[in-house]
Amino acid sequence: VQLQAYGGGLVQPGGSLRLSCAASGSIFSANTMGWYRQAPGKQRELVATISSRGSTNYADSVKGRFTISGDNAKNTVYLRMNSLKPEDTAVYYCDMLLRKVLDGPLYDYWGQGTLVTVSS
């Protein structure tokens, strides 16, 4: 199983970006999908998660600005980021808890990261 994240780039403060992350390989279903980020010199932190039932959870710092969504049929998770601030600059990683077979164990997979830079 591989996760491919893309959509990062350079954006001005106040701008928007949309990140995508698609899982490929032997997958039965996704349980939870999410985004984390790691800024230079800081620990990786949770940005947002979404369950297979559509329940979402956001870090306080991004509430009202970021929206996570998922497509279970495509095993893809998205992160729409609006009103971006310089402090949102980080490498963004996608994370998925996946089952390979019905009622099988959950496996945790991470994408390779995509850099988001918010700067004028």
- pLDDT in the model for residue 36: 98
Gyration radius of the chain over CA positions: 14
The answer to whether 3 touches 20, Cβ cutoff 8 Å, is no
| pLDDT tens profile 27-63 | 888 899 999 999 999 999 999 999 999 999 999 999 9
pLDDT reading at 114 higher than 90 = yes
- pLDDT in the model for residue 29: 87
| pLDDT tens profile 51-106 | 999 999 999 999 999 999 999 889 999 999 999 999 999 999 999 999 988 988 99
The answer to whether 8 touches 114, Cβ cutoff 8 Å, is yes
